[in-house]
């Protein structure tokens, strides 16, 4: 009896040691960035999701290289987040929710379908939301620390326009307005007022919409029609100019669209092309400045990589 009990205890103890060892391996710290840790579990999760997205076989040498790149990106995210905290730059939960809702609307999917699409790529909704927050923070920090230090002159813009006329022959564009109504509002009541004309679309947007362009009456102007998701093209083509769509439910709220105009293609003027040209010319300058900025952050940081 004592022998059997001792044997059972030995099995239990050694099994526990194996589980503990496995947990220790999974939770191994692979990097410490100014005191903030990145675990092996976190790294593997992000790497697996990216490999699934790019359809890379995890058993190839490319997978190891990707893991190093993902670790580098996670380190940069931490450095940017820490720097954002130092300058009191932040992204609110409401901003992130609105951007996630926009992503779902642009994809033309229901929340359930969108989440299933992510799952097929090995990405949880929580991971997607956090990635969205990091991207938004990166853009905001870029505006704060990078964009103000790069610029192009009007002469450079005009010269690019003259030398690349074929790029500015124009494409069909869409002008439409959008309202996103959070679920905690009287959505049906607001929608009935808009349909009845007792509340204008613009005023409804200003009063109730959670979209960033609410104060502009929800107006979205000059979007390239042929680059819209097929579902959005189908929605706009089903409406006449000035017509309002049905309520479309998404995660966390409802969308209402109004088609304002579908504009046929025509050659762009320099003034119309200017924003696009500036983006083309500024992109490499921003990239170079961003690399310099990240290099400065890394040079000042205490980074301990344990892989």
Residue 11 neighbours by CB distance under 10 Å = 10
Query: What is the Cα–Cα distance from 79 to 44, expressed in whole angstroms?
Result: 20
Sheet containing strand 248-250, strands side by side: 219-224, 173-182, 253-263, 248-250
Question: Which pLDDT tens digit goes with each residue over 85-94?
Answer: 988 988 999 9
Q: Is the pLDDT of residue 3 over 80?
A: no
Instruction: Compute the half-sphere exposure of residue 101: CA atoms within 13 Å on the CB side of its CA.
Output: 25
Question: Which pLDDT tens digit goes with each residue over 109-128?
Answer: 788 888 998 888 888 899 89
Question: Which pLDDT tens digit goes with each residue over 29-71?
Answer: 999 999 999 999 889 888 888 888 788 888 888 888 899 999 9
Contact 140, 84 (CB under 8 A): yes
Q: List the end-to-end C-alpha distance of the chain, in Å, as a whole number.
A: 48
pLDDT at residue 25, rounded to an integer: 52
Identify the CA nearest to 48 among candidates 36, 60, 56: 56
pTM for this entry? 0.56
**252 CB contacts (<8 Å, ≥6 apart)?**
97, 100, 101, 111, 182, 183
Query: What is the Cα–Cα distance from 40 to 69, expressed in whole angstroms?
Result: 14
Of 115-119, 173-177, 277-281, the one with minimum mean pLDDT is: 115-119
Sheet containing strand 29-33, strands side by side: 36-39, 29-33, 303-305
Q: Which residues pair with 260 in a beta bridge?
A: none
Q: Which residues pair with 177 in a beta bridge?
A: 219, 258
Question: Which pLDDT tens digit goes with each residue over 187-206?
Answer: 999 999 999 999 999 999 99
Residue 177, classed as helix, strand or coil, is strand
Query: What is the Cα–Cα distance from 252 to 110, expressed in whole angstroms?
Result: 11
Q: Are strands 248-250 and 219-224 parallel, antiparallel or unpaired?
A: unpaired
Structural domains of the chain in order of their starting residue, each with its CATH number: 1-85 (no CATH), 171-263 (3.10.50.40)
More confident residue, 23 or 158: 158
Reading the block at residue 129, the tokens are: 């939301």
């Amino acid at each position: 009896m004592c022998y059997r009990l001792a044997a059972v205890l030995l099995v239990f103890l050694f099994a526990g040691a194996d589980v503990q060892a496995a947990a220790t391996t999974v939770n191994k710290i692979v990097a410490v960035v100014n005191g903030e840790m990145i675990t092996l579990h976190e790294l593997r999760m992000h790497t697996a999701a990216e490999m699934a997205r790019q359809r890379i076989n995890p058993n190839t040498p490319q997978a190891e290289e990707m893991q190093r790149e993902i670790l580098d990106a996670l380190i940069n995210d931490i450095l940017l987040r820490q720097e954002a905290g130092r300058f009191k730059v932040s992204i609110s939960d409401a901003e992130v929710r609105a951007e996630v809702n926009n992503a779902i609307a642009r994809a033309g999917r229901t929340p359930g379908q969108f989440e299933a699409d992510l799952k097929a790529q090995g990405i949880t909704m929580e991971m997607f939301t956090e990635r969205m927050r990091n991207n938004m923070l990166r853009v905001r920090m870029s505006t704060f620390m990078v964009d103000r230090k790069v610029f192009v002159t009007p002469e450079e813009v005009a010269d690019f326009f003259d030398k690349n006329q074929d790029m500015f022959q124009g494409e069909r564009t869409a002008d439409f307005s959008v309202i996103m109504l959070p679920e905690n509002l009287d959505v049906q009541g607001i929608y009935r007022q808009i349909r009845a004309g007792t509340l204008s679309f613009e005023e409804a947007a200003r009063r109730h919409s959670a979209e960033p362009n609410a104060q502009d009456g929800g107006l979205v102007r000059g979007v390239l029609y042929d680059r819209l998701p097929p579902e959005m093209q189908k929605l706009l083509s089903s409406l006449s100019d000035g017509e309002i769509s049905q309520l479309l439910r998404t995660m966390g709220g409802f969308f209402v669209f109004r088609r304002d105009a579908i504009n046929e293609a025509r050659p762009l003027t320099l003034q119309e092309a200017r924003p696009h040209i500036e983006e083309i010319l500024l992109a490499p300058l921003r990239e170079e400045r961003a690399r310099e900025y990240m290099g400065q952050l890394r040079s000042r940081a205490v980074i301990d990589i344990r892989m």
